[in-house]
């Protein structure tokens, strides 16, 4: 367009002033075209220098203006341009030096002196590199775990997860989700990250699938349950031993057996609940019958004869509770602090809990009744406490969960067992040890507070799809859904 305008102007000038004037205008026109050239600027390289970017994207260099001319770029490429201020480098290579310059032409095709040449290097590496390695993880059978990897390099990056060296079909993302977990999925996982420049293999991460996750001082909790043939559906932790109901309805015990508290009696029926005390054990079968074994020096094994069709049991340090068919509480065992002296006239009860030397009951209307040892105010129910849906008793503290998922604690707080963290969230169930509390959130995660619980915070934070929480003297168990 400008060339046509230029020729028309020359013809008009020629008629007015002759050839000399036309030549003079030609010279001025050329100067105006060349004067538009400006040098590229390093600061305007896009993307910025020293930052790696997508191999498949072009690199745009800006910072000059050419109305008619050429852009010379790396690899001796020359691009004819018109009214532009950028050059494009196709498939620019990382670690290589690239350059660009601009020239302009006058209307007769005379080339100007080139602008200053801009040199720049694309920093980084096109080959994939593992920036965050997958970590070892432990998961609950029936639950969910995620293995993740972080990688850099020229995109697109491709991922292929492997189990025991065998590629997993469809496992082609930076995150590998495994759900629901089965024992057969345990083993070693890695991921191969690749692009057109090469491939790199991550470290090998080990996935352990267990029946239950154990936290605390008794390693036998984890090893015993993991060795069992079937996953537990319920469990209880005493002071030094534990009990679990397996999916086939049988009961297993582990830990201290000085009083035969882990020697499961022959002939137990289909068991629906178990309780572990200091040195004694209690089981409830599907018919509502109670069986007790272990230490009986304080009357722990003297189950009241009139009990039948029992709904639930709870076991404290040296005493036991039962929720009878008439929704009333029956207690037996050591009564040194009145923990077996059930208050008269209690309304209908729907849940019970037992601490070291005190007892709790949850009424049908959502209020709590507590009796027994009150040395740490563990029996002093907070005024106005209502709409309670779950209760638990520790060594010397008591806990309640309200219908809105908030937790209320009272009693001994020497180890922070009454101070749930600010991120406790919506809680559905709780369990208490001697001086700690563990809670199950509505989203299947768990949180714990109290004595030494900070030591387990990182492990607990990885728990997903939990179904139950269990606590003993100085340890906890998390069972799957």
pLDDT tens digits for range 269-325: 899 999 999 999 999 999 999 999 999 999 999 999 989 899 999 999 999 999 999
Q: Are residues 78 and 151 in the same domain?
A: no
pLDDT band with cut points at 50, 70 and 90 for residue 221: low
Percent of the chain at pLDDT exceeding 90: 55
Instruction: Pick 54 or 161 by higher pLDDT.
Output: 161
Contact at 8 Å (CB) between 438 and 430?
A: yes
Question: Tokens 């991460």 belong to which residue?
Answer: 205
Contact at 8 Å (CB) between 93 and 126?
A: yes
Q: Are residues 111 and 157 in the same domain?
A: no
Instruction: Pick 262 or 183 by higher pLDDT.
Output: 262
- E-only strand ranges, 122-178: 129-132, 137-140, 145-148, 150-152, 158-163, 166-167, 175-178
Residue 479, token pair as written in the block: 């069972």
Q: Are residues 282 and 419 in the same domain?
A: yes
Q: What are phi and psi of 264, to 5 degrees?
A: -65, 125
Taking the C-alpha atoms of residue 475 and residue 101, their distance in angstroms, rounded to an integer, is 71
pLDDT tens digits for range 123-141: 556 789 999 999 998 888 7
For the chain, report the end-to-end CA distance as a whole number of angstroms: 76
pLDDT tens digits for range 171-187: 999 999 998 888 899 99
Predicted pLDDT at 464 = 76
Domain that holds residue 408: 211-480
Predicted pLDDT at 312 = 98
Question: Can you state the angle between helices 2-17 and 19-34, rounded to 10 degrees?
Answer: 150
What count of other Cβ atoms lies within 10 Å of the Cβ of residue 100? 26
Q: List the CATH number of the domain containing 395.
A: 2.130.10.30
Q: Are residues 91 and 238 in the same domain?
A: no
DSSP lists the bridge partners of residue 98 as 120
Predicted pLDDT at 52 = 31
Cβ neighbors of 311 (< 8 A, separation 6 or more) are 288, 323, 324, 325, 327
Q: Are residues 237 and 159 in the same domain?
A: no
Taking the C-alpha atoms of residue 163 and residue 207, their distance in angstroms, rounded to an integer, is 10
Instruction: Pick 418 or 153 by higher pLDDT.
Output: 418
pLDDT tens digits for range 360-396: 999 999 999 999 999 999 999 999 999 999 999 999 9
Residue 72, pLDDT > 80, answer no
Cβ neighbors of 175 (< 8 A, separation 6 or more) are 146, 147, 148, 149
Q: Which range has the worst mean pLDDT, 95-104, 230-239, 453-462?
A: 95-104
Predicted pLDDT at 293 = 98
Q: List the CATH number of the domain containing 177.
A: 2.60.40.10
Give the residue ranges of DSSP H helices in 214-268.
Answer: 220-227
Q: Are residues 170 and 304 in the same domain?
A: no
Q: Are residues 252 and 297 in the same domain?
A: yes
Across the chain, mean pLDDT equals: 80
Q: List the CATH number of the domain containing 10.
A: 2.60.40
Total of domains in the chain: 3
Domain boundary among 121, 146, 165: 121
Domain boundary among 144, 175, 209: 209
Taking the C-alpha atoms of residue 201 and residue 130, their distance in angstroms, rounded to an integer, is 8
Percent of the chain at pLDDT exceeding 70: 70
Cβ neighbors of 157 (< 8 A, separation 6 or more) are 128, 151, 193, 194, 195
Residue 201, pLDDT > 70, answer yes
pTM over 0.95: no
Q: Are residues 109 and 188 in the same domain?
A: no
Q: Are residues 278 and 162 in the same domain?
A: no
Q: Are residues 80 and 135 in the same domain?
A: no
**Closest to 359 in 3D by CA, of 331, 390, 386:** 331
Q: Are residues 307 and 286 in the same domain?
A: yes
Q: Are residues 88 and 202 in the same domain?
A: no
Q: Which range has the worst mean pLDDT, 105-109, 158-162, 344-348?
A: 105-109
pLDDT band with cut points at 50, 70 and 90 for residue 468: very high
Question: Tokens 């907070």 belong to which residue?
Answer: 382
What DSSP state is assigned to residue 272?
E
Domain boundary among 163, 189, 209: 209
**CA geometry: angle 389, 392, 393, nearest 5 deg:** 150
> In 3-state terms, the chain is what percent helix, strand and coil (to 5)?
10, 45, 45
pLDDT band with cut points at 50, 70 and 90 for residue 120: low
């Amino acid at each position: 367009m400008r060339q046509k305008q230029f020729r028309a102007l020359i013809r008009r000038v020629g008629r007015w002033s002759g050839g000399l004037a036309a030549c003079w205008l030609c010279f001025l026109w050329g100067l105006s075209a060349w004067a538009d050239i400006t040098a590229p600027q390093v600061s305007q390289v896009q993307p910025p220098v020293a930052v790696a970017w997508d191999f498949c994207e072009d690199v745009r260099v800006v910072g000059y203006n050419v109305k008619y001319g050429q852009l010379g770029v790396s690899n001796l490429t020359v691009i004819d341009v018109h009214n532009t201020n950028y050059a494009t480098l196709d498939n620019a290579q990382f670690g290589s030096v690239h350059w660009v310059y601009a020239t302009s032409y006058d209307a007769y095709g005379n080339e100007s002196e080139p602008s200053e040449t801009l040199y720049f290097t694309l920093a980084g590496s096109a080959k994939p590199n593992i920036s965050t390695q997958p970590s070892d993880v432990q998961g609950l059978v029936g639950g969910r775990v995620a293995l993740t990897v972080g990688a850099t390099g020229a995109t697109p990056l491709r991922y292929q997860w492997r189990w025991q060296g065998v590629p997993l079909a469809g496992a082609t993302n930076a995150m590998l989700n495994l759900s629901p977990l089965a024992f057969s999925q345990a083993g070693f996982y890695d991921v191969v990250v690749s692009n057109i420049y090469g491939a790199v293999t991550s470290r090998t991460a080990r996935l352990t699938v267990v029946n239950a996750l154990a936290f605390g001082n008794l390693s036998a909790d984890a090893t015993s349950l993991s060795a069992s043939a079937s996953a537990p559906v319920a469990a209880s932790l005493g002071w030094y031993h534990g009990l679990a109901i397996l999916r086939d309805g049988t009961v297993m015990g582990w830990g201290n057996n000085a009083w035969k508290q882990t020697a499961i009696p022959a002939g137990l029926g289909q068991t629906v609940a178990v309780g572990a005390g200091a040195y004694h054990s209690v089981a409830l079968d599907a018919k509502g019958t109670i069986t007790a074994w272990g230490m009986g020096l304080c009357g722990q094994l003297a189950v009241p004869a009139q009990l039948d069709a029992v709904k639930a049991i709870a076991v404290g340090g040296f005493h036991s509770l039962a929720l009878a068919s008439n929704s009333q509480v029956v207690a037996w065992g050591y009564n040194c602090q009145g923990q077996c002296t059930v208050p008269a006239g209690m309304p209908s009860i729907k849940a019970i809990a037992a601490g070291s030397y005190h007892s709790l009951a949850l009424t049908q209307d959502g209020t709590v009744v507590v009796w027994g040892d009150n040395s740490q105010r563990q029996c002093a129910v907070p005024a106005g406490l209502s709409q309670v849906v779950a209760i638990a008793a520790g060594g010397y503290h008591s806990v309640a969960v309200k219908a809105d998922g908030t937790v209320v604690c009272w009693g001994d707080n020497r180890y922070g067992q009454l101070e749930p963290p600010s991120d406790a969230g919506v809680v559905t169930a709780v369990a208490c040890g001697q001086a700690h509390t563990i809670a199950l959130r509505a989203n299947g995660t768990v949180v714990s507070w109290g004595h030494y619980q900070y030591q387990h915070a990182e492990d607990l934070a990885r728990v997903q799809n939990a179904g139950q929480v269990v606590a003993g003297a100085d340890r906890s168990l998390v069972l799957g859904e």
